[in-house]
Chain A
Amino acid sequence: MDITLTIIGQSVAFFVFWWFCAKYVWPLFMNVMEERRQKIAHGLEAAARAEKDLELAQAKSTDQLKVAKVEAAGIIDLANKRGAQIVDEAKDKAKEEAQRIIAGAQADIEQEVNRAKEALRAQVSAIAIAGAEKILEGSINQAANEDMLHKLASEL
């Protein structure tokens, strides 16, 4: 163990390096660390805020969804009602139209029947006259007349 001036040199170096480190090295990293710590703190804070915002937005959207659902239900109801109304109206109109058509048809039919009746009536009288003529021709023979006379005579 040869102790020399080196021990003093090293002690001096020790204090000089310590001073240099404390003045020119340590604060640099301290500042960077502190800055980063703050950045992270801000980031976390922002994240928390964003989470809260998200929650609010979700609540808001649920509310709006509810309102929209109610509104939609109302609109659907109204539409259904209106639809039913239109269908009813159409049904009524159709019934009326049908009645009208049926009535028209019946009138036509009656007219036709009457016309046919008139025609038939005219033809029936002719046929009756013809028939009467035929019958009158047939009855003017001897035997029939005699029979009739005989009967009349016997009754008398």
Chain B
Amino acid sequence: MAELADAAHAAAGHGAEGQTVQEYITHHLSYLTYGKFPDGHWGLAHTPEEAVSMGFMSIHVDTMGWSLFIGAAFLFFFRYIGLRATSDVPSGIQNFVESIFEFVESQVNSGFNYKNPHVGPLCLTVFVWIILMNTMDLVPVDWLPEIAMAVGGLWGLEHMSFKVVPTTDPNITMGMSISVFFLILYYSVKSKGFGGFLSELAFHPFGKWMLPFNLIIEIPTLFAKPVSLGLRLFGNMYAGELLFLLISGLLGVYQLPAHFVWAVFHLLVVPLQAFVFMMLTIVYLNAAHEPAHGDH
């Protein structure tokens, strides 16, 4: 990596501040972190090392902020359109929002076989929120961080990190997938009863005489759901962002066509990952609503 970075540094001439490509990418992959310093006081981390030293008791101001901002913007926008919606021929923007709504509703109707009025809104929230968070990936990688550094410079934070794609933060994706996991547990217990839920783990798929094997199979399966759900989204978006950063760091003035090609490809990944997250949520919740097996 060091040779690559040096070569790129020489070739691309990147880094007015004398950054290597490695430093450039590391800087772009760190978070603006607010948290509890080891000495006990709370504050913004000035370096990635400080951020790491805070451990769990810290919050990623950038990704959390973008996530909240995007989610709130999306919901208020939808509500704004919804309040002005008419049942006559819909206008352009209402049509657009309605087509998203209908898309999500049809997916829920076809994938979710039980009566639960809360699943539709859940899927709409998840789908549009994730699409918008993923779309932040298409904003040129330096724009918002440069602005943030310029603003941060006013408070002595001229080297601050500022990550703009919330779904490249595992906390964001896992935060959502763990929420879905809790919903799976809640609805499983609600529809099967606590005993039914446990017996599904213990007596399925091989019957009660193979109970240990059943547990060995079922418990990892259960926990794999939120992990795979969150990490799939995180992995896809993180890889995409990393490639943008590599193109930006390594290619110098020739990066534009490469950015374009990768962005076009990413246009597919952005909605696809949101769709996959929503569909899996539907599938998991559908399975959770299944009544207990009566044959064990």
Which A residues contact B (CB, under 8 angstroms)? 1-11, 13-15, 17-18, 20-22, 24-26, 28-29, 32-33, 35-36, 39
* B118 contacts partner chain A, Cβ-Cβ < 8 Å: yes
Q: Is the CB of A21 within 8 A of B121?
A: yes
B118 CB contact (under 8 Å) in A5, A20, A22? A22
* With contact pairs A4-B59, A28-B82, A32-B85 given, residues A11 and B71 touching in the complex (Cβ less than 8 Å): no
Whether A13 lies near B178 (C-beta < 8 A) is no
Question: Is the pair A29, B85 in contact by a Cβ cutoff of 8 Å?
Answer: yes
5 contacts between A and B (CB under 8 A): A4-B54, A6-B175, A13-B67, A26-B124, A28-B79
- Asked if residues A7 and B175 are in contact (CB atoms below 8 Å), the reply is yes
Where chain B touches its partner, the secondary structure class is helix
Q: Is the CB of A6 within 8 A of B86?
A: no
* Contact A10 B98, CB 8 Å, known A21-B125, A22-B122, A26-B121: no
**Inter-chain residue pair count (beta carbon < 8 A):** 116
- Report the bound CA distance from A149 to B123 in whole Å: 174
- The answer for the CA separation of A36 and B59 in the assembled complex, in Å, is 45
Chain B residues near A13 (CB-CB < 8 A) = 64, 67-68, 71, 175
A7 touches B171 (CB 8 A): yes
Interface size on B, residues (CB 8 A): 47
In the assembled complex, the Cα of A39 lies from the Cα of B90 at a distance in Å of 13
Q: How far is the CB of A21 from chain B (nearest CB, A)?
A: 4
Cross-interface CB contact of B83 among A10, A20, A28, cutoff 8 Å: A28
- Report the minimal beta-carbon distance from A25 to chain B, rounded to whole angstroms: 5
Cβ of A42 to closest chain B Cβ, rounded Å: 11
**Contact in complex: A15, B179 (CB < 8 Å):** yes
Q: Which residues 83-112 of B have a CB within 8 angstroms of A?
A: 83, 85-87, 97-98, 101-102, 105
B171 pairs with A10, CB closer than 8 A: yes
Bound-complex Cα distance A25 to B71 (A) = 13
Q: Once the chains bind, are B75 and A20 in contact (CB under 8 Å)?
A: yes
